[in-house]
Amino acid sequence: MIPKIILGKGPHATRRTIGYLFGKGRANEHVDPHLVASWNDFAPDPGRSPHRDPKDVEDQLVTQLDQPVKMLGDKAPKHTVWHCPVRAAPEDPILTDDQWADIARRIVAAACIAPEGDEEACRWVAVRHADDHIHIAATLVRQDGRRPQRDFDQRAVQREARQIEVDYGLRRLKPGDGTAAKRPTSKEHFKAKRLGHDATSREILRLRVRRAIAAAADEAEFFALLEATGVTARLKLGPSGDALGCNFALPGDTNDEGEPVFYAGSTLAPDLSLPKIRQRIATTSPEPVSARAGDPWHQATAAAERIPHHLTQGDVPTAQGQLVALGAALDLLPATGPAMLKAELEQAAALFATRSRIVADLDSTRALHRSVQAIWRDRPQDGDGAGFALFLDSLLTAVAFAMHWHRTRQHAQQEAAAQQALLHLQVAYGQVAEPVLAELARRSPSLQTKRRFAHHLQEAAPEHAERILNDPAWDALATVLAEAEAAGHNTATVLDQALRQRPLDDARSPARALTWRVRRLSERHAPSPRAEAARVRNSTQPPASPAQSPPHPTRRR
């Protein structure tokens, strides 16, 4: 259940609000608007007065609501209307008018608009014009002439909404920490529908600005990328001429006067203010040195594979930096992957939450940022699609660890966001991985070679051997082991390295997980005979102390 408080000001604020609530709506969406509750339980109802002109009843209702305000004259507060839509989730049961009336009374009591039993409280009404929501409208002068003590009313209303969800068996939302992006309003949703857009302008701008931040090497390129994607950016200048903020608009999104509708970066999301955008670009811009030669898909994968270590072993600022870098990688992912995956990848990027009150340390994220930028800029060849599948597999694991990290710190909304993003990534992963695995399985080596690999596997991982050998991806794993061997690698060594990277206990398909690990390990230069002999000698020495594996969250692949 989502309550949202809107304040109205001006001499006609009450009339505008009541006129909207009992009108047809901006897209004729208001059906049967009527009162379900009011401050005195017998306020005039413009929606249920069949023998009177509805406009006359509206006038009467506005006059009664405004009476305490008018009594103060010039001493009336700047904001005179408190408007709070309260919306249930789509999957919630349809509530009765009486149930909505009870919810309205609880909301106005929690906000100190009308505490229970206070006969001199503010005047208010609750209007229902759809199955899933009501609007509460109140005037902000009590009947005794005082102003309501509504400090922190947004938090109080949210707390009451969480309790209402419990009491009525509704979908329970996660408590937030005040860092979430502003939700699009009903007006924005209806406008998007009229314009034929799948998302609101606010949501589209948020995605495009984030993607430009992730891709830009400097501030000039950031603004150039915005322009290339159809976003108009306008700097807000102070008296000194310095830029204090930045506003963004989409073509075709105009107001009643035909002017572009601009959104401040900080209203798109708290971390998209101009100072924070500049900090991100300055911190994560590529260093002025030539990048190391190598496959950028593998470099990005290697950098993403280090995220779980930073989340489990690093300090909190470093971990938050890794989450920011992970979010930036997800922002660019739709532009680097196959077109058929774009919708799922964009959903994952939009859902994943990098927001936090923790100051991020981004020093350890440059490798991931540079490699993802290289993929975005250079569009490297990816033959059979294995490079993208490898990278996506590493991001899946990183997002699963991010979900676990948030859970341990009770970041409920961020945990839920990571979980939802993970679902979309899993769908995309299935679509891109299956053809690659099928092609690898088609090139499976001889039965004799597979038996030899199975023997290595049973010696290296007896607890997983049976599952792997019966896994549909076993033939694909055998193929990459054969290719590693042909490239000069020792099969047992590569297999042992792949098994040590991460536990397989949480893998839905252990053979598939090993296939990607072996595939990436086999791309490295094979060790020389002398290096391999040294490795064997060292492996016979007893370890100094047993290493403790970091905890790993459930991550289904």
In this prediction, residues 321-333 reach a mean pLDDT of 91
Residues 6+ apart with CB under 8 A from 111: 5, 82, 84, 148, 150, 153, 156, 157
524 φ, ψ (degrees, to nearest 5): -75, 160
DSSP state of 254: B
Task: Specify the higher pLDDT residue, 516 or 551.
Answer: 516
Span 358-378, mean pLDDT?
84
For residue range 178-215, what is the model confidence (pLDDT) as tens digits? Answer: 666 667 776 787 788 887 888 889 989 999 999 999 99
How much is the pLDDT for 525? 58
Residue range 295-308, pLDDT digits in tens: 788 888 888 988 99
- Predicted confidence at residue 286, as pLDDT, reads 52
Structure tokens at 464: 């997983």
Encoded amino acid at 276, one letter = K
Report the alpha-carbon distance of residue 363 to residue 346 in Å, rounded.
26
The pLDDT tens digits for 335-352 are: 888 889 999 999 999 889
CA dist 186 and 207 (Å) reads: 20
Radius of gyration of the chain (CA): 29
Distance CA 227, CA 224 (A): 5
Q: What is the DSSP letter of 287?
A: P
Percent of the chain with pLDDT over 70: 89
pLDDT value for 483: 92
Q: Of 183, 182, 158, which Cα lies nearest the Cα of 172?
A: 158
pTM of the predicted model as reported, rounded to 2 decimal places: 0.68
The Cα 304–Cα 392 span in angstroms is: 9
Task: Round the average pLDDT of the chain to a whole number and report it.
Answer: 86
Task: Give residues with Cβ within 8 angstroms of 442, minimum separation 6.
Answer: none
Instruction: Summarize the confidence of residues 313-337 as an average pLDDT.
Output: 90
Q: Distance between the two ends of the chain, CA-based, in angstroms?
A: 33
545 has pLDDT over 80:
no
Given the structure tokens 């007065």, which residue do they identify?
A: 49
CB 68 within 8 A of CB 123: yes
Beta bridge partners of 236: 245
Checking if the pLDDT of 314 tops 90, the result is no
Which of the four pLDDT bands, split at 50, 70 and 90, describes residue 291? very low
- What's the pLDDT score for residue 89? 84
- Among 87-101, 166-180, 404-418, top mean pLDDT goes to 87-101
Q: What are the C-alpha distances in Å from 69 to residues 62, 75, 108, 122, 299?
A: 11, 9, 18, 10, 65
Q: Across the chain, which distance is largest between two alpha carbons, in Å? A: 100
Query: Which pLDDT score, from 0 to 100, does residue 27 have?
Result: 61
- Neighbour order of strands in the sheet with 243-249: 232-237, 243-249, 263-264
Confidence label for 386 from pLDDT (cuts 50, 70 and 90): confident
Closest CA to 269 of 248, 285, 238: 248
Residues with Cβ within 8 Å of 406's Cβ and at least 6 positions away in sequence, in order, are 412, 414, 415, 418
DSSP category for residue 260: B
Tell whether the torsion through CA atoms of 302, 308, 314 and 320 is positive or negative: positive
* Positive/negative CA dihedral, 379, 382, 388, 394: negative
What's the whole-number mean pLDDT along residues 486-513? 84
What is the mean predicted confidence (pLDDT) over 373-387? 82
State which of 168-172, 180-184, 231-235 shows the largest mean pLDDT.
231-235
Of 114, 212, 216, 95, the C-alpha closest to 157 is 114
- pLDDT value of residue 258: 87
